[in-house]
A and B are shown apart, each in its own frame.
Chain A
Amino acid sequence: MIMQAEKISPPSDDKRWKVVETTIRRNGASADALIETLHSVQEWFGYLDDDALRYVAARLTLPLSKVYGVATFYHFFTLKPQGKHTCVVCNGTACYIKGAKKLIDDIHDRFDVKLGETTQDGQLSVLGARCLGACGLAPAVVVDGEVQANVDSQTLISQLEGLENDDA
């Protein structure tokens, strides 16, 4: 008996799903394109929520457990929404030797947010990077997509405070 595949529709009519759908189709909805598909969802939505994981599982005919397993295995994927602003602190060896840990500690003291978390008000996410490959500029951070070289705590914190104030 041939089962008629039901049409699986995206979780919402958000236009961004069309882009994700293109990625899925380009790879023939094959299971081995799971990582590519998750990259596409995260690129457009910023993170992977439960609905997205369910949808991807259904579209690629994979068990949800497998999709969840892959999404949680790789550090690049995040299952939580990011704050309005992001500050990525490079934690590669060169940056570590040159004081990245102090940056992280000082951010924690000022904003009460740990690495990988978002402030209560959803304003700022502090993320760690294994290595930005900007070792010549250590310690390096990326604030809202802009790389900053040879950073010290004081300038970084006042910059982050500035971001919050700009929005207020």
Chain B
Amino acid sequence: MTPEELHDVGQKHREQDAKTPHHVRVCMAAGCMSQKSDEIKKTLEKAIKEKGASDPCKVKCVGCMGLCSAGPLVRVDTEGQDSVMYQNVTVDDSSEIVQSISDGKPVERLVCDTNVPFFAKQQKIVLENVGEIDPDSLEDYISVGGYSALGKALAEMSPAEVRSEVEASGLRGRGGAGFPTGLKWGMMARNESETKYIICNADEGDPGAFMDRAVLESDPHRILEGMALAAYATGANHGYVYIRAEYPLAIKRLKNAIRLAARAGLLGHHISGTRFSFQIEIRLGAGAFVCGEETALIASIEGKRGQPKPRPPFPAQSGLWGKPTCINNVETLANIAPIVNKGGAWFASIGTEKSKGTKVFALAGKINNTGLIEVPMGITLREIVFDIGGGIPDGLSFKAVQTGGPSGGCLPDRHLDMAVDYDNLRDAGSIMGSGGMIIMDEESNMVDVARFFMEFCMSESCGKCIPCRVGTYQMHNLLDRIAEGQGTHEDLALLEELCITVACTSLCGLGQTAPNPVLSTLRYFRNEYLDLIGEQHIPAFVGQEASQ
């Protein structure tokens, strides 16, 4: 499709939509689906048909609306009026909701107030279409400006210009490490080769994170467009989406999106009648956290055990089947289309000095509002936990926030006023990670949390290098002993020594960061360890300070 054709398709679809004054959007992402939102959609459709409402009314399946803890969510959008969001909807509520549409009065008992900080404090770039469009409809995506960035790049920009926009945006990899995307693309573009690959890393292995899944389930074309732009900018011609087999719904929607895009000529040979060709294939992961490491992921796509290799050579030089390869995370790719459309300077105006744009977090654990949020970089943890998250349930008090999953750390309340960005989190002993954010209350036992993550790293260690394979096992043993109240002061000293050794000598990121949860809990909650080994210790607050 040429940009003009895209424009026409979008225009036509919008006009078609405008003929229907009422749209009922039902969340059909995995969270609400598990609470039978698919049946709610059916009964809503049935109720509309039976009622034969005077105004046309259309039920639309959309992706994640964010507030998973209040699911299933349904939103009624009436032209010229404010939208009404309903929470905890059941099948039995369908007819009442349909009735309320013709009455023009919302069903008060189900209304979810959207003027609360949970919704008001968010800023959406990655998630702008999520919960708005039907993930299975290409026209829907085009009607909100989808594929216009690709059209613009192909018609008006050179690959170098696309790269310089991305570089100017200051976008950093959202997979966790925060490597500047523009720099990565530049390295890839400099390596000449007939065949180059773009890989989208959708193997979201971090337990407690579901951002990428929500994006893939809710707005799959955004990822395809991002990949196509990345391919154009770096001279690649083939793409893979490496996705977890545990995400069947995301796989289904992605497959459908690839099929629709290829049929419309937005993927495949000579896209938009230009010389640029790009195809995308899906490869399924099979449950290995270590495949988040670039070289291990490449091995897995090649059908081998997912074990990492020493770098250099970097994937940008010699990656998949020895060809230059660029691996980007789902959320990174979802940022590309808006950057190309609105310019790097616009993106760089959001966020902090060194971390630009927004970040999507999966908020979970002991918190009132669990779900998916997108906030500008630089927001404080306090705003996330107490304003957006609505604080801690059951009148308990906040204890720690865990970011970065098994590679991250736990931060205590005195870091609540810290601005969230890559560097601040790292300096505080945690990492940005892919965006899992777990809140813990006063009842959470921090030694147990450290043990939980170590058990995870131990079982996910690929076994290639000794520091990680043996080190995680030994650290888990020590943590186990301490947590069970059988540890000694020597155990604690050994644990600390091992943490440093494993972090410094492991081959890949998994081992290098495996000690982080232990180190951060030792740094901020040392008294809990000391309590368990029966040591007389100075009062908590002083103990925490002394440990630094």
Contacts and interface: CB of A to CB of B under 8 A. Distances in A.
Contacts of A93: 207-208, 364-365, 402, 405, 436, 438, 452-453
Interface stretch (B47-55, B218-226, B281-289): B281-289
Q: Which 3 A-B pairs have CB atoms at the shortest separation, nearest pair first? A: A136-B68, A147-B34, A93-B208
A133 B213 contact: yes
A70 B303 contact: yes
B364 A138 contact: yes
Contacts of B301: 32
B208 A31 contact: no
A97 B30 contact: no
Interface of B: 30-31, 34-35, 68-69, 71, 204-210, 213, 245-247, 283-289, 300-306, 362, 364-366, 370-371, 402, 405, 436, 438, 440, 444, 449, 452-453, 456, 462
A168 to B, nearest CB: 28
A92 B284 CA distance: 20
B17 to A, nearest CB: 29
A140 B323 CA distance: 42
30 contacts: A35-B286, A35-B300, A36-B303, A39-B245, A70-B303, A70-B304, A73-B288, A73-B305, A73-B306, A73-B462, A74-B285, A74-B287, A75-B288, A92-B207, A93-B438, A94-B370, A97-B438, A97-B440, A97-B444, A130-B287, A133-B213, A134-B210, A135-B68, A136-B69, A136-B370, A136-B371, A137-B71, A138-B365, A147-B35, A149-B34
Contacts of B462: 73
A131 B71 CA distance: 19
B210 A74 contact: no
Nearest to A69: B305
B289 A70 contact: no
A96 interface: yes
Contacts of B365: 93-94, 97-98, 135, 138
Contact of A36 (B31, B246, B284): B284
Interface string A136-163: 1110100000110100000000000000
A66 B306 CA distance: 12
A34 interface: yes
B362 A135 contact: yes
Contacts of B402: 93
Interface string A7-49: 0000000000000000000000001111110110000000000
A91 interface: yes
Contacts of B452: 93, 96
A77 interface: yes
A74 B288 contact: yes
Interface of A: 31-36, 38-39, 66, 69-70, 73-77, 91-94, 96-98, 129-138, 140, 146-147, 149
Contacts of A147: 34-35
Contacts of B34: 134, 137, 140, 146-147, 149
A24 to B, nearest CB: 12
Contacts of A70: 303-305
A94 B438 contact: yes
Contacts of A34: 303-304
B347 to A, nearest CB: 27
Chain A CB within 10 A, most for which of B71, B302, B303, B305: B303
Given A97-B438, A97-B444, A131 B286 contact: no
B438 A131 contact: no
Nearest to B439: A97
Contacts of B71: 136-137
A145 to B, nearest CB: 10
A149 B30 CA distance: 12
Nearest to B371: A136
Nearest to B247: A133
Given A36-B283, A74-B288, A93-B405, A137 B208 contact: no
Contacts of A73: 288, 305-306, 462
Contacts of B35: 137, 147, 149
A131 B208 contact: yes
Contacts of A33: 303
A75 to B, nearest CB: 4
A154 B478 CA distance: 33
A94 B285 CA distance: 22
B297 to A, nearest CB: 12
Contacts of B245: 39, 76
A130 B303 contact: no
Contact of A129 (B246, B300, B453, B456): B246
Nearest to B438: A93
Nearest to A131: B207
Nearest to B209: A131
B213 to A, nearest CB: 5
B191 to A, nearest CB: 22
Contacts of B208: 92-94, 131, 135
Contacts of A32: 301-303
Contacts of A134: 30-31, 34, 68, 210
A133 B444 contact: no
Nearest to B436: A93
Nearest to A128: B459
Contacts of A66: 304
A39 B244 CA distance: 12
Contact of B204 (A39, A91, A133): A133
Given A33-B303, A134-B34, A77 B286 contact: yes
B61 to A, nearest CB: 18
Nearest to A71: B286
A133 B30 contact: yes
Contacts of B285: 74, 76
Given A35-B303, A94-B365, A130 B289 contact: yes
A39 B444 contact: no
B425 to A, nearest CB: 17
A74 B463 CA distance: 12
A55 B413 CA distance: 57
Given A91-B207, A130-B289, A137 B68 contact: yes
Contacts of B362: 135
Nearest to B369: A136
Contacts of A149: 34-35
Contact of B286 (A38, A69, A132): A38
B142 to A, nearest CB: 28
